[in-house]
Amino acid sequence: MKSIFITIGVILLAFFILIASNINVIPQLDESVKASWSQVQNQYKRRADLIPNLVATVKGYASHEKSTLEEVTKARANVGKINLSNEMLSNPEQFQKFQKAQSSLSSALSRLMVVVEKYPDLKANKNFLALQSQLEGTENRISVARRDYIQAVRTYNTELRTYPGKIVAAIMYPEAKVKETFSASPSEQNAPKVKF
């Protein structure tokens, strides 16, 4: 009888040690996800800040390409209307809405670059080249920030869905929810068509 109590005590002690050693993992991972998301938003903001300068530069050369310029401006405005908070990262609908707006802006910028190909003087303009370089750099930074966010979400979601993290979350952090991650839209999965 005494050995049964000792065995139960050892099992309970091992369980307690396992839980106690993982008690802070979920909040740490959640903060990592939030920090990664802030970096994604930071890069989106940088891109949004560059767009008015790019549009103004192109507008000077391509005044009759009004519809493309309006589309870029409209897409940027739509992106500015959606502010995805850290709490909304667990809401698939809000996350998809945000991702759709960002994809729309990327698509509009791609069409703007096609318009630019029609204007050799614009392509050689120092201001345009500097803006284009900054925009390309920003797109690369967005890609890196998304990758880091995806990795942070993967680690966080794995902790919530595997043991002992699942037990710790159920006991200590019942409000912890699986976070959303990026996925490419169908239009982004198609290879761009290059015409000469």
Question: pLDDT tens digits for 159-168?
Answer: 999 988 998 9
Question: pLDDT tens digits for 6-49?
Answer: 888 888 888 788 777 788 999 999 999 999 999 998 898 888 88
DSSP 8-state code for residue 125: -
Are 29 and 155 in contact by the 8 Å Cβ rule? The answer is yes
> Terminus-to-terminus CA distance in the chain, angstroms?
86
Are 145 and 36 in contact by the 8 Å Cβ rule? The answer is yes
CA atoms within 13 A on the CB side of 105: 28
Question: pLDDT tens digits for 88-140?
Answer: 788 888 888 888 888 888 887 777 777 666 666 655 577 777 777 888 888 89
Q: What does the pLDDT read at residue 194?
A: 41
Q: Quote the crossing angle between the two packed helices 25-61 and 92-116, to the nearest 10°.
A: 30
Average pLDDT, integer, range 78-85: 76
| Range from 3-7, 133-137, 174-178, 182-186 carrying the lowest mean pLDDT | 182-186
Q: Taking CA 97 as the corner, what is the angle to CA 95 and CA 98, rounded to the nearest 5 degrees?
A: 65
Q: What does the pLDDT read at residue 120?
A: 62
Q: What is the pTM of this model?
A: 0.68
Q: Which of 69, 49, 57, 59 is nearest to 125 (CA)?
A: 57
Domains (ranges, CATH) in the chain?
Answer: 2-189 (1.20.1440.20)
Q: What is the dihedral of CA 163, 30, 78, 66, to 10 degrees?
A: -90
Q: Which residues contact 89 (CB under 8 A, 6 or more apart)?
A: 33, 37, 95, 153, 179, 180
Are 46 and 138 in contact by the 8 Å Cβ rule? The answer is yes
Q: What does the pLDDT read at residue 56?
A: 77
Are 23 and 30 in contact by the 8 Å Cβ rule? The answer is no
